[in-house]
Amino acid sequence: MRINKFLAEQGVASRRGADEVIAEGRVSINGKRANPGDNVEETDTVMLDGKILSHKVKYEYYLLNKPKGCVCTVQDEKTDTPRKTVMDFLPAGAGRVFPVGRLDYDTEGLLILTNDGDLAYRLTSPQNEIPKTYLVRVEGAVTPVQLNQLRAGVEIEKGVITGKCRVNVVETDKKYTKLHVVLTEGKNREIRRMFEAVGKEVKFLKRIKIGELGLTGLDRGAVRKLSREEIYYLKNL
């Protein structure tokens, strides 16, 4: 097993995050500093920050209705005053899990936390084209021209064009418009930047579905374990 996958299954971070942890020199295999391409066998001793990691892993899966005002990291290390993270909403006794993908500080909604690295990769890899549905609110009306631009793909920075997506108006009046946006990719702050590209500012953003898995019955800031059926569904998207 690749070392980054092993660390992801331990709940250290996603595979990409695990590569960063390895590059920082915090991981060793049998007493030697690990490299990103290393493989791990069950007989190997793997240590993180001087602590031995067990090869026995119990997978855990949580669904959080993330509120605004917290970050999607295991620990906030980028400010002098650490902000609340999504980990603060997990129940006492929860294992070492990590958030799957990112919702930015001011975005709320559906977030999965797990230590299952394979599932995390399946849900976040662009090549798998897993649909994610967002509720978006902007001020004023959105014209048919703007809708078609969003659906076809817009340039959010020089040379970076978003992929085709589904965009539908669900409610509108003279003051605001609510839309459902379905993406199969996950560029940084993609939806906010898409609407900025057509002259609209996002005032509210919430992820409401991954595939057909939604937030029914889960209050803002609440968390629950995924059911066996939900786990099976996500693994087979």
CATH of the domain at 42: 3.10.290.10
Q: Are residues 122 and 93 in the same domain?
A: yes
Helix, strand, or coil here: 16?
Answer: helix
Query: What is the reported pTM?
Result: 0.79
- Domain containing 153: what range? 131-210
| pLDDT beyond 70 at 78 | no
Q: Are residues 206 and 222 in the same domain?
A: no
Q: Are residues 112 and 74 in the same domain?
A: yes
Confirm whether 104 is a catalytic residue.
Answer: yes
**Rounded CA separation 235/237 (Å):** 6
Q: What is the DSSP string of 79-95?
A: SSSPPPBGGGGSPTT--
Residue pLDDT, tens place only, 3-61 = 998 888 887 877 878 888 999 999 999 999 999 889 999 899 999 999 898 777 788 99
Q: Are residues 167 and 154 in the same domain?
A: yes
The secondary element (H helix, E strand) that includes residue 151 is helix 144-152
pLDDT score recorded for residue 179: 98
Which CATH number covers residue 146? 3.30.70.1560
Q: Are residues 148 and 186 in the same domain?
A: yes
Residues with Cβ within 8 Å of 102's Cβ and at least 6 positions away in sequence, in order, are: 72, 186, 188
Q: Are residues 90 and 111 in the same domain?
A: yes
Helix, strand, or coil here: 130?
Answer: coil
Q: Are residues 66 and 115 in the same domain?
A: yes
Q: Are residues 156 and 118 in the same domain?
A: no
Q: Are residues 143 and 122 in the same domain?
A: no
The domain tally of the chain equals 3
Residue pLDDT, tens place only, 177-228 = 999 999 998 888 999 999 999 999 999 999 999 999 999 999 999 999 999 9
pLDDT score recorded for residue 68: 94
Which CATH number covers residue 98? 3.30.70.580
Residue pLDDT, tens place only, 130-143 = 999 999 999 999 99
Q: Which residue among 49, 80, 88, 104 is the active-site one?
A: 104
